[in-house]
Amino acid sequence: MQPLMTKNFITLLFYFVFCLFTLSVTCQDSDLETDCTNRWIHIRRLPPQFNLDLLSNCSKYPLFDDFCPYLANHGLGKKTHNKSHSWYRTDPFMLELIFHRRMLDYPCLTSDPSLANAIYVPYYGGLDSLRFLYGPEVNSSYQHGLDLYEYLVHGDLPDVWSRHYGHDHFMVMARPAWDFSQPLNSDPLYFGTSFLELPEFYNVTALTLEGRAYPWQEQAIPYPTSFHPPNLAFFESWVNRVRRSRRTALMLFAGGGGISANPNVRRSIRLECDNVTSLSANGTGYDKLCDFVDCSNGVCQHDPIRFMKPMLQASFCLQPPGDTPTRRSTFDGILAGCIPVFFEDLSAKKQYGWHLPGEKYEEFSVFISKEDVVFKGLSIVDVLTSIPRSQVRRMREKVLEMMPRVMYIKHGSSLGLRTKKDAFDIAVEGTLERIKSRLQEVAAQ
């Protein structure tokens, strides 16, 4: 009975927050008008079947996971320990909840959709996809989203949709876009739904954890990490700890895979790491050349203690692609001041342009071609040790500058901390600019 009580409590808590929002939005309409030019957002009201009711299914899909424990604190999850103020056991698939709760704090909300520059659709598309990916509707995955479209077009306030036919609408879908990209005529069906293939949603901006190689309607935004500070003091305290941390290892790989005989970059990394452990690090300024944290079978996903301390002690964090090009570990490493090492552009550079500007990658990261590592025997250790220590220090300072851009601060955070733009703020700004550009293009046609 305990999981059911937890689920009901969380659902009721979300309803309570919505009630508070309804009472306060009128004040927001009038108080911040001069500060909100071109920034007004209207939140479309959806029946709970599209968001809150989905939370009650948190233990319904055993092939996926029981995500009931990660619904706490509006999707941040439970605290890592009772005295923690900033660290949570956050599941990245809960980004839809996290973003929705942060939207309720957004200062430029309007109850009048005709005044809005953008329309936020609080649809938990990733959670709704579970019934098609792991549930009884696996053979109907081409229908994912059709009920939502029917409501947006013919349900409550249909003129909100028809004003721009979805060009001004946006939503968060907390999975890689590949999971929503199954062709409508796919036979046989493979893993995924067809949400992003539906012509009905071509005009809508979808914020996903990872975009496709040639995205159209989606834009990738950072995976949530476990760090969600509530005020400026806790954030600055962490930054100071990261800056003071002694880097005893040259490089670190925290992850799984790489155990098959087939050539791939993870296998090459693990082999090199095994080989250099017996070599002396004398003259390098490090106690060891490579550190490895085995995160196989998801053991690290909800336990940041396993990997954050090793990241704090390493100069470089290796971020090889896995099942998909991107990794949450990229953002964990940045929060630890660990310089990311990428092996393909789709891992970050071609994904997170809003949050990690492409023209700055050489200032805060290292790129090593995975083909050179796997097929030409290029030594990662040789590449990294060839970088002057003065340059490493400058790169780490750039990583620290990037830190606010990839973290999601806690909802209801202090005014001081809100002066720093976090991943949510940058995602909203990017969405508003994208929608503005789209509407101008449509008007010019």
Residue 284: pLDDT band (50, 70, 90) is: confident
Distance between CA atoms of residues 50 and 48, nearest Å: 5
Specify the higher pLDDT residue, 298 or 91.
91
Rounded mean pLDDT of 194-198? 96
Structure tokens that stand for 174 in this block: 């907390």
- At residue 22, the pLDDT reads 44
Q: For residue 352, give Cα distances in angstroms to 31, 180, 346, 427, 440.
A: 33, 19, 9, 10, 24
Single-letter amino acid code for the residue at 377 = G
Distance between CA atoms of residues 277 and 273, nearest Å: 6
- At residue 255, the pLDDT reads 95
Has residue 25 got a pLDDT over 90?
no
Residue 13: pLDDT band (50, 70, 90) is: low
- At residue 113, the pLDDT reads 96
Rounded mean pLDDT of 279-295? 89
Distance between CA atoms of residues 437 and 94, nearest Å: 29
Which has the minimum average pLDDT: 5-14, 169-178, 232-241?
5-14
Cβ-based burial of 296 (10 A; exposed 0-12, middle 13-18, buried ≥19)? exposed
Q: Is 429 helix (H, G, I), strand (E, B) or coil?
A: helix
- At residue 16, the pLDDT reads 52
Q: For residue 35, give Cα distances in angstroms to 141, 276, 383, 430.
A: 43, 56, 48, 17
**Residues 223, 96 contacting (CB under 8 angstroms):** no
Has residue 277 got a pLDDT over 50?
yes
Distance between CA atoms of residues 90 and 303, nearest Å: 9
Q: For residue 356, give Cα distances in angstroms to 67, 320, 360, 407.
A: 29, 17, 7, 12
Single-letter amino acid code for the residue at 386 = S
Distance between CA atoms of residues 230 and 213, nearest Å: 35
Has residue 44 got a pLDDT over 80?
yes
Residue 441: pLDDT band (50, 70, 90) is: very high
Q: Where are the beta strands (DSSP E) in 295-372?
A: 314-319, 339-342, 366-367
Angle at 381 between CA 302 and CA 402, to 5 degrees: 50
- At residue 10, the pLDDT reads 53
**Residues 78, 94 contacting (CB under 8 angstroms):** no
Distance between CA atoms of residues 211 and 222, nearest Å: 11
- At residue 23, the pLDDT reads 45
Distance between CA atoms of residues 245 and 108, nearest Å: 39
Has residue 1 got a pLDDT over 70?
no
* pLDDT tens sequence across 130-145: 999 998 888 888 999 9
* pLDDT tens sequence across 220-230: 999 999 999 99
Distance between CA atoms of residues 160 and 123, nearest Å: 16
* pLDDT tens sequence across 401-427: 999 999 999 999 999 999 999 999 999
Q: Is 177 helix (H, G, I), strand (E, B) or coil?
A: helix
Which has the minimum average pLDDT: 117-126, 214-223, 246-255?
214-223
- At residue 8, the pLDDT reads 54
Closest CA to 373 of 326, 335, 337, 341: 341
H-assigned helices in 262-325? 265-276, 305-312
Structure tokens that stand for 405 in this block: 């851009």
The residues, any chain, with a CB within 8 Å of residue 277's CB and separated by 6 or more, are 288, 289, 290
Residue 33: pLDDT band (50, 70, 90) is: very low
Has residue 211 got a pLDDT over 70?
yes
- At residue 319, the pLDDT reads 98
**Residues 290, 252 contacting (CB under 8 angstroms):** yes
